[in-house]
Structure 1
Amino acid sequence: MTPLIRLLVEGGPLAAFFVTNAQAGIIAGTGVFMAATTVSLLFSWHLERRLPIMPLVGCFFVLLFGGLTVWLDDALFIKLKPTVVNLLFAAVLFAGLALRRNVLKPLLGTVLSLDEEGWRKLSLRWACFFVVLAVLNEVVWRTMATDAWVNFKVFGIMPLTLLFSALQMPLIMRHQTDETKQGAD
């Protein structure tokens, strides 16, 4: 899948959520988000003949919390979704670190080849970042109007995640294994 197609597949549901929320409100936006996320996952399956784990987990939670939002006509559930998902990701990473199991390597091992210390440090940083995102989500949805929360979800979380990812490059470069370095030459 090309980077542009991947961006559309992964970002399309969020864009549809944003536009529909602006035009018809959070409940309608949530319904469209659920449908678009499902279509996106099916499209990904069609293109790659596999279901990537992160989008699959994301779709599950969008359907669960989105379904509760639409069914109960209460935006609380869709607002809680990022908090719950980010805390779940953090918990999995922290548990992996405590059990000395590398959780990130199976997810990113085809893209990155790091030594064990690099994987451990990257896992710890991502776990902490997921906690920060959960706290930020809680602060924003509890202190701001729904439309402001939607703007934060669409225009805040993604740039923060991209910035955080970019800031990990020095760590990644320091802990690359020789096979990765040779592939870069």
Structure 2
Amino acid sequence: MAEKTINPVLKQVLELGPTVAFFLIYLRIKDDTFIFGGTEYTGFIVAALIFVPILLAAMAALWFLTGKLSRMQIFTAFMVIFFGGLTAWFNDERFFKMKTTIVYGFMATILGIGLLRGQSYLQYVMDEFLPMKPEGWMIFTRRLTFMFIALAVANELIWRTQSTDLWVKLETFAFPAVLFVFLWVQIIGLQKYLIEDPATSEE
């Protein structure tokens, strides 16, 4: 299916909506317990399980409307399904919390492998949207690799030492916000490496 244009606001809703929905559902049922098949589940685990079909529905809508899903979106969906299943099977919320660590760790590992080979895998993904000189991409990739490592470590420390309430809030809002600000600061700081569009520079 060819890639199609989509309203940017709708795209953001479909990409961020499932996480916000998980947060709101969790707030609503966090103090409740549910019994399925004779097993008692906490509100957190039920919210995590509800999150799975919501995420899949949003991704299906994105694919239908744009004709494309990124590898990262597919990987994240797989991780949510896999760890959501483990969470339900073992009735243990730790599996769902570990998912975030593994996702960030995986991204750091992939970028790190590229760096060891003298390549920026980030450039392969973003070069079309952010034309930049190779040295700029290598700097950007190194910094983002360390950021993913820091986020993975932070997630481990938080879910192991803090309350579920705090983890849910940080997972929903703080981690994405920190990553967004980090990316924005990097793009601003790497302006000298950006490649101008010839058509734009001639105007």
- Equivalenced residues, count: 185
Give the Å deviation of 1:28.
Answer: 1.2
* Distance (Å, rounded) in 2 between the aligned partners of 1:157 and 1:180: 37
Aligned pairs for 1:1-185 (under 5 A) are 1-24=6-29, 25-179=43-197, 182=200
Residue deviations 1:55-94, cap 9 Å, x none?
1111111111111112221101111011011011001001
Q: Deviations over 1:22-81 (max 9, x none)?
A: 122211111121111111111111011112122111111111111111222110111101
Please list the CA deviations of residues 131-177 of structure 1 after superposition, one character each: whole Å capped at 9, or x if unmatched.
01011111110111111110110121111111111111233311111
Contact 1:118–1:171 (Cα < 8 Å) also in 2: no
In structure 2, relative to structure 1, the CA distance for the partners of 1:68 and 1:115 (3 Å cut) is same
Using the alignment, how far apart are the partners of 1:180 and 1:107 within structure 2?
Answer: 22
Q: Which structure has the larger Rg?
A: 2
Structure holding more helix per residue: 1
> Where has structure 1 moved over 2 Å in runs of 4 or more?
169-172, 178-185
Give secondary structure in 2 for the equivalent of 1:139: helix
Give the whole-Å Cα distance in 2 for the aligned partners of 1:89 and 1:156.
18
For 1:157 and 1:48, locate their aligned partners in 2 and report how far apart those are by CA, in whole Å: 27
User: Does structure 2 retain, via aligned residues, the 8 Å contact 1:16–1:32?
Assistant: no
Are residues 137 and 181 of structure 1, via their aligned partners in 2, closer, same or farther at CA, if it must alter by over 3 Å?
farther
- State percent identity of aligned pairs: 29
TM-score under structure 1 normalisation? 0.93
1:168 match: secondary structure: helix
| TM score, norm. by length of structure 2 | 0.85
Q: Which runs of 5+ in 2 are unaligned?
A: 1-5, 30-42
Whether the 8 Å contact between 1:16 and 1:29 is mirrored in structure 2 is no
